[in-house]
Amino acid sequence: MPYFFIADDAFALRPNMMKPYCFRGMTDEERIFNYRLSRARRVVENAFGILANRFQVLLTTMNHAPSTVRLIVTACMCLHNLMRMRYPCLQNHQLDREDPNHNRIPGRWRQGRNLQDTFNVRGPNIDNKAGKRQRNLIKHWCNSSAGSVSWQDSMI
């Protein structure tokens, strides 16, 4: 499985940048792909949201050398993981979760005032053939015996 970034419709589809299928006329396989991609995005948003809410330096532009920024981010991650290990139940309310009907219940990290100055970056939305080919390969993998999960069909 290749590595790729998880994006939304604001970004262009590329082999290393996956975004969901258009919602019109989707097949069940495409719906499953979109659902699985959405779950992956939620995990990433939770992880970064909680980390940035705790270490607000991650919400600003860091005017340091790249090596120093790398050290700052690594230190934030290490401290965060240490706090999660020492106090595992303390931050569970921060996470997004699902109710019994599979509706998303936003975590408390989304209510942080320090996130008010963030915004969605918009850009041209041009798909390319290699990105579509890669997305189709991942869609087939998500629906294969190797990549499927038992509950995915009931989610669409």
Find the farthest-apart pair of alpha carbons in the chain and give their distance in angstroms, rounded: 48
The whole-model pTM stands at: 0.63
Type of residue found at 78: C
Q: 131 lies in which domain range?
A: 5-155
Q: Which residues does 68 contact at the CB level (< 8 Å), separation at least 6?
A: 62
Residue 123 has pLDDT above 60, yes or no: no
For residue 14, what are its two tokens?
């590329």
pLDDT in tens, 134-148: 888 888 888 888 888
Domain count, the chain: 1
Type of residue found at 88: P
> In which band, very low, low, confident or very high, does the pLDDT at 156 lie, cut at 50, 70 and 90?
confident
> In which band, very low, low, confident or very high, does the pLDDT at 96 lie, cut at 50, 70 and 90?
confident
pLDDT in tens, 20-45: 998 888 899 999 999 999 999 988 88
